Amino acid sequence: MSEHKKEFEPVIVAFTCEHCAYAAADLAGLSKMHFPPNVRTIRLPCTGKVDMLYILRAFELGADGVFVAGCLKDQCHYVDGNYKAEARVMFLKKVLDALGFGGDRLEMYFMSSAMSDKFVEVAHEFTERIRRLGPTPFFKRRSEVLAK
Ligand code: FES
């Protein structure tokens, strides 16, 4: 009997703004557009609410990748929440790179509520990116530290 190696299925957490990306994901679902079930969406009133600790906590709890999806630039309902989120994501990407964790495991996207096709495209592309990167190194690192 041959053994088949099971393909790695990444766990992806998506912090989404309810005015745009969350609504776009909802529209994609209503339109029966297929996107990977790997993506777990978390609804926020605005991506400006995304704290860096939320992102780190998602990784700590086992996410292999995290993305933040907010309104189109200059269309945030709270003026500049998406710009604040983008700045936090860009900073954290550098931190993750410096730690050897991989900044590519984190990304920021912008879309409107009508852009269900964009949400689907992002979900597919990001899932494939994380699949190529492999499982999160966090648990391996943690077990290495605890073993010392
Ligand atoms: Fe959507 Fe601010 S209201 S990102």
Atom of ligand 1 nearest to the CA of 19: 1
pLDDT of residue 1: 40
79 or 139, greater pLDDT: 79
Q: Is the CB of 76 under 6 A from ligand 1?
A: yes
- Residue 147, pLDDT > 80, answer no
Q: Is the CB of 77 under 6 A from ligand 1?
A: yes
- Residue 4, pLDDT > 90, answer no
> What is the Rg, in whole angstroms, of the alpha carbon atoms belonging to the chain?
16
Q: Is the CB of 24 under 6 A from ligand 1?
A: no
Render pLDDT for 59-89 as a digit per residue (tens, 0 to 9).
999 999 999 999 999 999 999 999 999 999 9
**DSSP conformation letters of 71-107:** PPTT-BTTBSHHHHHHHHHHHHHHHHHHTTS-GGGEE
Amino acid at 133: L
Work out the percent of the chain whose per-residue pLDDT is above 70.
90
Per-residue pLDDT band for 2 (boundaries 50, 70, 90) equals: very low
Q: Is the CB of 78 under 6 A from ligand 1?
A: yes
Q: Is the CB of 44 under 6 A from ligand 1?
A: no
Cβ count within 10 A of residue 44: 22
Amino acid at 85: A
Backbone phi and psi for residue 72, each to the nearest 5 degrees, phi listed first: -60, 150
> In this structure, what DSSP letter does residue 135 have?
S
Give dist(CA 29, CA 47) in Å, integer: 21
Atom of ligand 1 nearest to the CA of 85: 4
Q: pTM score, two decimals? A: 0.90
Give dist(CA 16, CA 108) in Å, integer: 10
